[in-house]
Chain A
């Protein structure tokens, strides 16, 4: 079956522009996560969605970052007024249940470069 897909795979944008990153989770997975990995760093948690519950936004680094998940499936991560420090690989993951013993399945990521 299809895995987690993300688009675009690469995005180059100018400082100050807005960008939207898309994630299509595995069908039937109720939990969806966004992480980012900056160069040489680990995976930084950004936001987590579970069903119709309010998302856990505790990892979003600033109010320039927002995310939504429509219909409990596709998610979009939006970064407004991008800065050079936003350059990173943005990873999306989904799982069958939140925090259960079900592991996360990751997409290939979107590499964002802010010039």
Chain B
């Protein structure tokens, strides 16, 4: 039973436009959400996070939005750049446990 779902396996966006990556979760006990970026043959690297008490967190070109009522979060990248082409993983953490659960990832391709 997937508790963190990324329903779009891939996304293609033109350079300079906005990339929107979506993530849904099923467990209302999650208290912290994270986005990771992964290039081929490398481990994932942390990108941005958001606490469940907030609905938005912004860091440069990256903004994460959290809609708790819909159990949905999204990552916005604007403007998209060629170096943003990677696989993006959404992850969530339980409030009372320590393990972090990852989604299946979305492959983002930025086209010129």
**Interface residue ranges, A against B (CB under 8 Å):** 4, 31, 33, 35, 41-45, 48, 50, 56, 58-59, 91, 93, 98-99, 101, 103-109
Contacts and interface: CB of A to CB of B under 8 A. Distances in A.
A2 to B, nearest CB: 14
B49 A43 contact: no
The secondary structure that dominates the B interface is strand
A42 B99 contact: no
A22 B83 CA distance: 30
Given A91-B43, A99-B94, 7 more contacts: A42-B103, A56-B98, A59-B99, A99-B100, A106-B43, A109-B41, A109-B42
B103 A58 contact: no
Contacts, number: 61
Contact of B49 (A98, A99, A101, A108): A101
B49 to A, nearest CB: 7
